[in-house]
């Protein structure tokens, strides 16, 4: 059995990971990182700790659905304190410093980083690359919709979709991304890529990539209808990652896309 440790174990996705691992035939829960207390029951012998080192020691692989500062503490344990376990990182909203730390850590251990663990979004990223490259004259606008509790914006998935679109057109996303329009803003420029956020209710996650031209447009939609799409995707990624060498991997590597 593959021993899985969780960072963010009290969270919306973290608690689903606990449930999914309870019925998995190849992986089981070994440790939970918590800041406060874990209210949910876990199997006897599960290490419940606020120490990232203890979490790593008790596990073959870590799955992280938490918050950027918590992921930073996990990565620091690898980079500075000799931690040495594969990491599946799903947390979004990293700063440049945190992104660099992730790259640094991936020189020491295998890391799979995916802003979205669903198969559908993995395929959508590829479709967006193709459409953006082929439909050169079309304006690209991305809209993401999430539940009222989501704290980062735009979503990590929307930013990854936008990166695929920008790369397909040889554009630097930081230079062309527009994530708000208000007032006398003038006409849309050709290269800009709009990435807009809606928040409300219990929406698990919906992403729309629109490519608009005169006389026609295409809209590609993905909707996550159940949050365990992400927990199950991450467990699948963890099983794959335990057999990989140090390096930075994407969900496409795991899915063979
Ligand atoms: N890649 C993917 O497929 C997906 C990624 N995500 C991302 O995963 C992350 C977690 O999502 P979700 O489970 O909905 O979030 P929640 O807010 O429900 O859970 C966050 C978890 O992180 C913990 N945490 C650790 N450190 C901190 C801190 N400093 N401040 C606040 N919380 C902390 C929380 O602990 P405590 O309870 O003690 O506060 C909690 O366990 C987000 O970044 C989200 O965008 C979400 C879904 C899919
Ligand atoms: O916070 C969420 O809920 C989600 N976050 C991820 C993101 O930021 O893209 C993935 C998913 O859409 C749900």
Write out pLDDT tens, residues 77-128. Answer: 999 988 899 999 999 999 999 999 999 999 999 999 999 999 999 999 999 9
Mean pLDDT of 131-150: 98
Query: Taking 90 as the threshold, does the pLDDT of residue 182 lie above it?
Result: yes
Q: How far apart are CA 241 and CA 80, in angstroms?
A: 22
| Per-residue pLDDT, 193 | 98
| Per-residue pLDDT, 39 | 87
* Percent residues over pLDDT 70 in the chain: 100
| Per-residue pLDDT, 62 | 98
| Per-residue pLDDT, 105 | 98
**Ligand 1 pocket list (CB less than 6 A):** 8-14, 35-36, 65-67, 69-70, 90-93, 114-117, 152, 156, 230
Q: How far apart are CA 158 and CA 152, in angstroms?
A: 11
- 119-224 CATH, one of 3.40.120.10, 3.50.50.60, 3.30.360.10, 3.40.190.170: 3.30.360.10
Would you give the end-to-end CA distance of the chain in angstroms?
Answer: 26
Torsional class of 47: left (φ above 0), alpha (ψ -120 to 50), beta (otherwise): beta
Binding residues for NAD(+): 8-13, 90-92, 114-117
Query: Taking 90 as the threshold, does the pLDDT of residue 249 lie above it?
Result: yes
pLDDT in tens, 223-247: 999 999 999 999 999 999 999 999 9
Phi, psi of 221 (to 5 degrees): -110, 140
In this structure, which ligand is nearest to the CA of 18? 1
Higher pLDDT, 83 or 76: 76
- Tokens 């918050």 belong to 67
Query: Taking 90 as the threshold, does the pLDDT of residue 35 lie above it?
Result: no
Provide the annotated active-site residues. Answer: 146, 150
* Percent residues over pLDDT 90 in the chain: 96
Q: Domain 2-113+227-255, what fold?
A: Rossmann fold (3.40.50)
Cα separations in angstroms, 74 against 7, 70, 71, 84, 212 = 8, 6, 5, 11, 42
Phi, psi of 93 (to 5 degrees): 90, 25
Query: Taking 90 as the threshold, does the pLDDT of residue 36 lie above it?
Result: no
Using pLDDT thresholds of 50, 70 and 90, give the confidence band for residue 155.
very high
Which of 33, 67, 99, 112 gets mutated to test ligand 1 (max ligand atoms within 8 A of its CB)?
A: 67
Higher pLDDT, 37 or 12: 12
Mean pLDDT taken over the chain = 97
Domain residue ranges of the chain, discontinuous segments joined by + = 2-113+227-255, 119-224
Query: Taking 90 as the threshold, does the pLDDT of residue 53 lie above it?
Result: yes
């Amino acid at each position: 059995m593959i021993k899985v440790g969780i960072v963010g174990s009290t969270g919306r996705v973290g608690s689903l990971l606990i449930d999914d691992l309870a019925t998995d035939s190849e992986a089981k829960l070994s440790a939970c990182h918590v800041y406060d207390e874990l209210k949910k029951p876990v199997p006897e012998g599960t290490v419940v700790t606020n120490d990232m080192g203890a979490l790593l020691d008790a596990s073959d692989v870590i799955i992280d659905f938490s918050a950027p500062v918590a992921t930073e503490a996990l990565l620091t344990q690898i980079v500075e304190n000799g931690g040495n376990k594969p990491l599946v990182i799903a947390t979004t909203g990293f700063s440049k410093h945190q992104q660099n730390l992730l790259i640094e850590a991936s020189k020491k251990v295998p890391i799979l980083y995916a802003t979205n663990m669903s198969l559908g979004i993995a395929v959508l990223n590829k479709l967006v690359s193709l459409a953006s490259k082929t439909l050169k004259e079309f304006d690209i606008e991305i809209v993401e919709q999430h539940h009222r509790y989501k704290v980062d914006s735009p979503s990590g998935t929307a930013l990854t979709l936008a990166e695929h679109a920008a790369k397909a057109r040889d554009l630097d996303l930081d230079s062309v991304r527009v994530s708000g329009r208000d007032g006398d803003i003038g006409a849309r420029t050709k290269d800009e890529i709009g990435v807009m956020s809606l928040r409300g209710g219990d929406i698990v996650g919906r992403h729309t990539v629109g490519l608009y031209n005169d006389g026609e447009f295409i809209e590609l939609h993905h909707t996550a209808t159940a949050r365990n799409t992400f927990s199950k995707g991450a467990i699948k990624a963890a099983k794959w990652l335990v057999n990989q060498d140090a390096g930075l991997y994407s969900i496409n590597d795991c899915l063979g896309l």
